A and B are shown apart, each in its own frame.
Chain A
Amino acid sequence: MSADEKFFAWLDGELEGAEAAEMAARVEADPALSMLADQHRAMQSRLRSAFDATSAAPLSERLRKTVSAASSNLIDLGERRERRLRPKQFGGLPQWAMIAATLVLGIFAGTMVPGRGGSPVEIQDGQMYAASGLGRALDTQLASSPSGDAIRIGLTFRDSGGAICRSFSGPAATGLACRGDGRWAVRGLFPATEGQGSDYRMAAGMDPNLAALVGSTMAGEPMDAAQEQAARKNGWR
């Protein structure tokens, strides 16, 4: 350790025992070293207080969505103050997570029959598209009206480019598909984890991978039942 390194290690509280005492005595006896120590302590405290200011700023909308999608007991840092003034009807969950919970819970009333007739996805030019049963479910099913099909639709929303996206879950996987050129491009597909499809967790917490993807894809709020119906009528454009 060089003399400089030793001095700064002492300043940072990294020296112990006799070494620390020896350096303290040296600094005390040397006005130049004392001044250097003071200057560097002042610089560190200036850096800390300047960067501490960043933690007071509200979180970005995108980050709040990502975190809240992954978290079932959300603490909304950016809105904590306003929230105190509002009635707690959503119990701390963002509205869209509540919509998802309601929709998925409603759908659990239906039976789960694995789809028949071919792979639910096809790959073309390196892009995965929904096919057969999955394509039909995305085209026709409404999250608000349980159909008893193997595929269930979760959230419907627009991405930042304006395309309509829908999250879905089946017996083996959950995922997200977005509409483009008259078909559904699959943006993400995640194997179903144990316990999914039978408890509240899937709706409230979602698969964390899917939740992260939904959070980073969604622009604005998810569609409610009426908007979803109108979007279907309009051919998902």
Chain B
Amino acid sequence: MDQQPSFEDELVELLPRLRRFAHSLSRSPADADDLTQATVERAIRSRDQWTQGTRLDSWMYRIMRNLWIDAARSRSRREKFEAPPEEADRIGTDGTAQAAAELAQVMAAMQRLPDEQREVVSLILIEGFGYREAAELLELPIGTVSSRLVRGRTALFELVGER
């Protein structure tokens, strides 16, 4: 019974983490759902590119991060001419209103960080990746990851850490 779990089994197991990562990157729960959807579709289409026995989580996080970067680039071009987005419009939790309000608040704070700091804060402080794992995932030198993390978490502390 030492069969390796299938791609699908692992993918299903990863969904809660992927959704959490999507929320920490996105400006609204609706955007986070779209990002998760796009990531899962891309992963299923590209499953041949994943090598069995290697970490599926890193592979899928990388897909999500790249899709988010692509979307962020086209959005920033568009948003120069648009009104700012609504406050978190559809809260992706079934918890209490308080949990939803808390999520909206931290999502808004994360949105104030530059993209390159947000992804590092998200991977290391929220998703629990080590510096080296995050550096490999983002294809950055570890020193860059470390300095972005300091800037990101310090800025975030100014925004949410007053309590």
Contacts and interface: CB of A to CB of B under 8 A. Distances in A.
A72 B151 CA distance: 45
A196 interface: no
A54 interface: yes
A211 interface: yes
Contact of B45 (A8, A53, A208): A208
Interface in A25-82: 39-40, 42-44, 46-48, 50-60, 62-63, 66-67, 70-75, 77
B47 A47 contact: no
B36 A55 contact: no
Nearest to B91: A57
A54 B32 contact: yes
Contact of B17 (A4, A55, A57, A62): A55
A66 B44 contact: yes
**How extensive is the interface on chain A, given as a class?**
35 or more
Contacts of A59: 15, 19
Contact of B44 (A2, A46, A211): A211
Residue of A5, A59, A74, A211 with highest tally of chain B CB at under 10 A:
A59
A74 B103 CA distance: 29
A216 B41 contact: yes
Chain B's interface size range is 35 or more
A59 B92 CA distance: 9
Contacts of A2: 147, 150
B141 interface: no
B37 interface: yes
Contacts of B150: 2, 4-5, 8
Given A8-B149, A50-B106, A58 B94 contact: yes
Nearest to B105: A50
Closest 10 CB pairs between A and B? A55-B16, A71-B8, A43-B161, A50-B106, A212-B44, A53-B93, A53-B99, A54-B23, A57-B93, A57-B92
Contact of B125 (A1, A47, A208, A216): A47
Contacts of A5: 146-147, 150
A67 B11 contact: yes
Given A14-B131, A43-B160, A208-B44, A72 B8 contact: yes
Given A51-B23, A71-B11, A46 B93 contact: no
A43 B153 contact: yes
Interface string B66-101: 000000000000000000000000001111000110
13 contacts: A1-B146, A9-B131, A12-B124, A39-B157, A54-B29, A54-B103, A55-B16, A55-B20, A66-B37, A66-B40, A75-B9, A208-B44, A216-B41
Given A4-B150, A67-B11, A208-B44, A47 B106 contact: yes
A71 B106 contact: no
A229 interface: no
B1 interface: no
Contacts of B114: none
A209 interface: yes
Contacts of B93: 53-54, 56-57
Given A50-B99, A51-B103, 9 more contacts: A4-B154, A5-B146, A40-B161, A50-B102, A53-B100, A55-B20, A62-B37, A66-B40, A209-B44
